[in-house]
Amino acid sequence: MLRVLAELFLKNPTKNHPFLPPSLPPSQAPEFTAYRVLYYVYLQSNPKYSDGDSGVLRVLAELSESDKASMAVKHALEVRRACVLGNYHRLGRLYREAPGEGRRIMRHFMGQARVRAMQVMLKAYKSTLPSGWVEGELGFGGREGGIKEGEGGEEEEEEARVFLERGGWVVVGEGGGEGEVSWDMKASKVDPAAAVTRTLM
């Protein structure tokens, strides 16, 4: 039932939620408050919309103490904080740890956040970076962070590699044996338009 309601929310997030049944247990209401916060974070990352800032402030003003104690709402507020501060390390971890359908909502703004993180890394690091570390920082992989060999992470590893290469990063070493795949910071650049394909909700 929650998955269906989350899909309805994604299709029509700015309404007063008439689709929520009156039988929705109060314990599940904070989860949808968290989805609203995440949606407004998405709006803040999208220059087409101006409602992100005021919308999230409205939601924050409406939060009760029980809402603030909810794991989903705490997570959504941490995501907002990480985005505002540009803390890509924290955002990558929060993406991997998202409760409920939160990860599905976050997917819509993670591409842009990853590009900003790539730009920061490119300025901060001048040699090479190991691929597993980069993937963990950008929120690829499982809940533990990064993609570890032999854990069935081939799809995630390929997704990360395609994203980074599409964004302009250059790979060094092709693995095999003991050679680890790394990213060459000197030869790399960041092309945000090529890396991110905007997904509209």
Q: What is the pLDDT of residues 94-125, one digit of tens each?
A: 999 999 889 988 988 999 899 999 999 999 99
26 phi/psi in degrees, rounded to 5: -55, -25
Domains and CATH numbers, the chain: 2-195 (1.25.40)
> What does pLDDT average to over the chain?
78
Report CA torsion sign: 125, 131, 133, 137. Answer: positive
d(CA 182, CA 170): 9
Residue 92 confidence (pLDDT): 94
CA distance 57 to 143: 30
4-49 pLDDT, tens digit each: 555 555 555 554 554 355 566 666 778 888 888 898 888 887 777 7
- What pLDDT is recorded for position 41? 87
